[in-house]
Amino acid sequence: MRNFDEHTITQAVIASLSATTNPRIRQISESLVRHLHDFVREIEPTQAEWAQAIEFLTAAGHITDHKRQEFILLSDTLGVSMLVDAINHRLPDGATETTVLGPFYVQNPPEFPNGANISAGTDGEPLLVTGSVRDTHGNGLAGAVIDVWHSDEDGYYDVQHTEAEGPNMRARLRARDDGSFSFWTTMPAAYPIPHDGPVGKMLELQGRHPYRPGHVHFMIGHGGFETLVTHVFVEGDPYLDSDVVFGVKDSLISRFEHLPAGPAPDGTVQERPCRHLNYDFVLAPAKT
């Protein structure tokens, strides 16, 4: 094993993997070497450019901690997260489409009853969210676990406020017996993904903005069904066609209706004008 040149090095590295006993690890390793070498052959980096690439990855590692995951942002902004999502969610007709989880999900959010306000004390336009969770035959899924989270009117999640006192604009609800659910909150806003690190620098060099259109995140689970990770996007948002993480699908864009003060669709009477989102989610059966 010696004297490799740019034409023979790839085969030599692949041959060195022949003792890999796990077939999946071998497949992934071989493919990685092939594609990575082809990439390098295509771009023909200078030594300085290759050193910059290593520095970029090193900076991504350094800025990453338990609250900030630069490698997920890199995967998101290069469209890899949505590609992995698409490959893993080839859904039956009628099932709600999926999109990225994003970095702001917090496990086991506070539980709220239907009808509750999950953003009490937060400034912003009041928003009533109603909807249902069903199977592909239209049957309501009683007790489905609905985790919801979104940004405030300035585009920040609770976890981004260092002085935050606890969870806000995030909740766990359970679908009623007929599969319906409802809660009050405030309107989310479009926001930039964290862009003060190497991924932000990359976007700048690529002439891209760091914004995502306004949306509400949902993670919905029920025994016997695939857990649905998705968002509902605000119709009319200026960033719908340039989401920096490529997460928008037509079926996930919804009207957030403007309602005047007075009776609201959930039977309450509102003193202020508000917005109303209604969305019916359909879960796919669990893969067997």
User: Which residues of this protein are in contact with ligand BEZ, per CB under 6 A?
Assistant: 73, 76, 100, 102-104, 193, 212, 245
Q: Which does 76 bind (CB under 5 to 8 A by kind): Fe ion, ligand BEZ, none?
A: ligand BEZ
Residue 179 in 3-state DSSP? coil
What's the rounded Cα separation, in Å, for the pair 59 and 45? Answer: 19
Please identify, using beta-carbon distances, which residue of 8 and 251 lies nearer to ligand BEZ. Answer: 251
Please identify, using beta-carbon distances, which residue of 189 and 264 lies nearer to ligand BEZ. Answer: 189
Query: Which amino acid appears at position 196 of this protein?
Result: D
Instruction: Name the minimum Å distance from CB 272 to ligand BEZ.
Output: 27
Q: Is 213 in the site for Fe ion (CB under 5 A)?
A: no
Task: Quickly count: other Cβ atoms within 10 Å of residue 16's Cβ.
Answer: 12
Site string for Fe ion, 43-82 (x = CB under 5 A): ----------------------------------------
Instruction: Name the minimum Å distance from CB 231 to ligand BEZ.
Output: 7
DSSP 191-239: EEPP-SSHHHHHHHHTT---EE--EEEEEEE-TTBPPEEEEEEETT-TT
Those residues whose C-beta lies under 8 Å from the C-beta of residue 132, and which sit 6 or more positions away, are: 140, 175, 178, 179, 180, 181, 280, 281
Instruction: Name the minimum Å distance from CB 215 to ligand BEZ.
Output: 6
Please identify, using beta-carbon distances, which residue of 100 and 203 lies nearer to ligand BEZ. Answer: 100
Of 272, 236, 280, 255, nearest to 117 (Cα)? 272
Of 130, 68, 85, nearest to 230 (Cα)? 85
Task: Quickly count: other Cβ atoms within 10 Å of residue 75's Cβ.
Answer: 18
Q: Is the dihedral of CA 107, 108, 112, 117 positive or negative?
A: negative
Instruction: Name the minimum Å distance from CB 94 to Fe ion.
Output: 25
Site for Fe ion in 176-205 (CB under 5 A): none
Binding part of the chain for Fe ion, among 15-23, 99-107, 124-132, 236-244 by CB under 5 A, reads: 99-107
Q: Is 102 in the site for Fe ion (CB under 5 A)?
A: yes
Q: Which does 245 bind (CB under 5 to 8 A by kind): ligand BEZ, Fe ion, none?
A: ligand BEZ
Instruction: Name the minimum Å distance from CB 1 to Fe ion.
Output: 49
Please identify, using beta-carbon distances, which residue of 144 and 229 lies nearer to ligand BEZ. Answer: 229
Those residues whose C-beta lies under 8 Å from the C-beta of residue 261, and which sit 6 or more positions away, are: 270, 271, 272, 273, 274
Instruction: Name the minimum Å distance from CB 53 to ligand BEZ.
Output: 22
Please identify, using beta-carbon distances, which residue of 103 and 197 lies nearer to ligand BEZ. Answer: 103
Which residues contact Fe ion by CB under 5 A? 102
